[in-house]
Amino acid sequence: MVDVSNAEVAHRAASDAEHIAWVDEADAELGSLPRAELRERGLIGRGTFILLFNSAGELCIHRRTLSKAVYPGYWDVAAGGMVQLGESYAESAARELEEELGIGGVALQEHGRFFFEQPGNRLWGAVFSAVSDAPLRLQPEEVLEARFVSVEAALAASENQPFCPDSLEAFKRYLRSGAAGREFSV
């Protein structure tokens, strides 16, 4: 039996009812729908992926709670979530980074957008990175644990542990873009 707290159950219900941006295959807004309905109907939403690094260049990875509708208990290389109607990708990224990991007021760099598609998870995603050495404040309804690891260690762990495939795609696109390491140069 899965051990899920009452707070997680309530958070999941609120999350499923939250209205998020509904878009088409070209990322044009069509309106908004409750998150659960968007998932159930196989429609496309907008999401953000924020790769959080410390000043040593280590990446924050975290494990998702078991109450998450998509990829419960999986490890994740990015904070993030779904974009609300009328909210920009950047506004969503800043909100999600503060909600999930307690990191606010940091500069976010955007590294492009991509389309991701799996059963139950279709989205246009925007990839961001940030650097912070501030202490993490984890959102207990969404994050079980978090730690900073080298980029190589994160990639190696993703080979033999369950990691969110959409976030891994965002991370790999970030690495291919050549942006890795630029945030840390003096």
Instruction: Answer yes or no: is 110 a known binding residue.
Output: no
User: What is the Cα 153 distance to its own chain's centre?
Assistant: 19
Query: Which pairs with CB-CB distance under 8 Å and at least 24 residues apart come from 171-180?
Result: 171/49, 171/51, 171/59, 171/77, 171/78, 173/111, 173/112, 173/114, 173/127, 174/51, 174/111, 174/127, 174/129, 175/151, 177/111, 177/112, 179/109, 179/111, 179/129, 180/151
Instruction: Answer yes or no: is 142 a known binding residue.
Output: no
SS3 88: coil
- Through-space distance between the first and last CA atoms of the chain, rounded to whole angstroms: 50
Binding-site annotation, residues: 96, 100
Binding-site annotation, residues for Mg(2+): 96, 100
